[in-house]
Amino acid sequence: MRISVFGLGYVGCVSAACLAARGHEVTGVDVNPAKVGLVREGRAPVVEERIGELTAQVVRAGALRATTDVAEAVATTDVSLVCVGTPSASNGSLSTAHLERVAEQIGRALTGRDPRRGRHTVVFRSTMLPGTCTGLLVPILERSSGLAAGSGFGVAVNPEFLREGTSVRDFFDPPKTVIGEFDTAGGDTVAALYEGLPGEVFRVPVAVAEMTKYVDNAFHGLKISFANEIGAICRALGLDSHDVMDVLVADRKLNISPAYLRPGFAFGGSCLPKDLRGLVYAARRADVSVPLLSHVLPSNDDHLRRAYELVTAAGSRRVGLFGLSFKPGTDDLRESPLVELAERLLGKGYELRIYDANVSLSHLVGANRAYIEERLPHLSDLLTDSAEEVLADADVCVVGCDDPAVLSALDRAGDRTIIDLVRLPDAAARRAHPGYVGLGW
């Protein structure tokens, strides 16, 4: 395939050289003549493992060339891969100035492109916030070209997951390939660029592709900060943090795994809140600052608050709560976020009915019973024997479990408001219906 790569920084330079090495004909485009000159000489404009020899190799073979002429690059290629920078301002906002300028240039170039060469596809590889492509860049392309996106030209978003220092290796051995497709044909074109590379391919809506890069980097930063705070606590307690983390990362069932990484309701129970408090307390006693760990419980409280605000926004004071224990399959009510939610609603005068197939007052014993007697002393007046009883008395259904009886009752909810805290099995279909509200989806 013939590809023009806009921007010859780290991402653009590596993408151009690696695509050329895979047999594509690549034209690098940059406003900086010095970078263009280096590539023409077979030299990489950046310092990166393997990129120097790879650039020399593909330039020598005639697979990679460089130019400052946008119109020529677009006229002679099938794909424009946009890799320009999106720096952040001091307030954290994203600068799209380079993206806007390149989109305008590519759009103008499309007007003079020979239609016999087939449809051109514009692929944005730059990191940008959700909504940037369809809300900002596509209108610029359409306005400057006079063509319609999806028919006159293809559009896709293809975020990169290249680490500086190992970016060439990461290109040829990616953890995944993400294609946000504005149109199916554009997605097909991007998929063909990477055909044969390892890793799963995700063809998703444009905004999902834009978001994945931010989520990945936020998670990486979170993991590093978490490990560093654990290291600081361990050192203060006389431990080698690497011995501790060796045990943590060896657990691929719960720790280094998809476990706990599905958005839902707040966490609770007898372990997580208590142990987080204990760890933060130990750090404070040792005079170790742990801002990340100390804000986990406040973050959890904020998520509970979001659920409460969804209930209050529904506008009715007759509320049915499906689920009460801290997670499905148990009757443990200790520090359950659903108990906390019920307590807040009762405190504000809401009429509340509750159903949980696993919770029976007669079976609660010990600390579990003591906890609920303190937090919800009138639970016996609120609990029902069936999901249908809750439904009969509620205008607003708050779903904190996916018990089969609850799912069956919800099928007959009619025009009641449903606030989904667990992502019901048919949540994707329900999202289109008025009255359904998902907590994080």
- Per residue in 91-121, pLDDT tens? 888 899 999 999 999 999 999 888 888 899 9
253 is annotated as contributing to ligand binding = no
127 is annotated as contributing to ligand binding = yes
Query: How far, in Å, CA of 25 to CA of 65, rounded?
Result: 9
Percent with pLDDT over 70 in the chain: 100
| Nearest-10 crossing angle of helices 241-250, 206-236 | 140
Beta bridge partner(s), residue 351 = 318
Q: What is the pLDDT of residues 379-434, one digit of tens each?
A: 888 999 999 999 999 999 999 999 999 999 999 999 999 999 999 999 999 998 88
Query: How far, in Å, CA of 431 to CA of 346, rounded?
Result: 28
Question: Domains in the chain, please, with CATH?
Answer: 2-207 (3.40.50.720), 299-438 (3.40.50.720)
In this structure, of 171-175, 205-209, 412-416, the range with the lowest mean pLDDT score is: 412-416
Mean pLDDT, the chain, integer = 94
State the average pLDDT over residues 3-10: 96
223 is annotated as contributing to ligand binding = no
| Backbone phi and psi for residue 383, each to the nearest 5 degrees, phi listed first | -70, 140
Contact 141, 103 (CB under 8 A): yes
Binning pLDDT at 50, 70 and 90, where does residue 298 land?
A: very high
30 is annotated as contributing to ligand binding = yes
Q: How far is CA 341 from CA 32, 276, 302, 380, 422, in A?
A: 58, 21, 12, 17, 14
Contact 189, 121 (CB under 8 A): yes
235 is annotated as contributing to ligand binding = no
Query: How far, in Å, CA of 9 to CA of 168, rounded?
Result: 13
Q: What is the pLDDT of residues 335-373, one digit of tens each?
A: 899 999 999 999 999 999 999 998 888 787 888 888 888
For residue 67, give the 3-state DSSP assignment: strand
Q: Which of 13, 133, 234, 271 is catalytic?
A: 271
Is 271 an annotated catalytic residue? Answer: yes
281 is annotated as contributing to ligand binding = no
DSSP state string for 69-133: -HHHHHHT-SEEEE----PBPTTSPBP-HHHHHHHHHHHHHHHTS-GGG---EEEE-S---TTHI
DSSP state string for 179-229: EEESSHHHHHHHHHHTTT-SSEEEEE-HHHHHHHHHHHHHHHHHHHHHHHH
| Backbone phi and psi for residue 165, each to the nearest 5 degrees, phi listed first | 105, -30
Query: How far, in Å, CA of 142 to CA of 144, rounded?
Result: 6
Q: Supply the DSSP symbol for 309.
A: H
Q: How far is CA 285 from CA 26, 206, 238, 279, in A?
A: 59, 48, 14, 10
Residue 189, pLDDT score: 97
Q: Enter the tokens of residue 209.
A: 């592709």
Radius of gyration of the chain (CA): 28
* pLDDT of 89 higher than 90: no
The reported pTM is 0.89
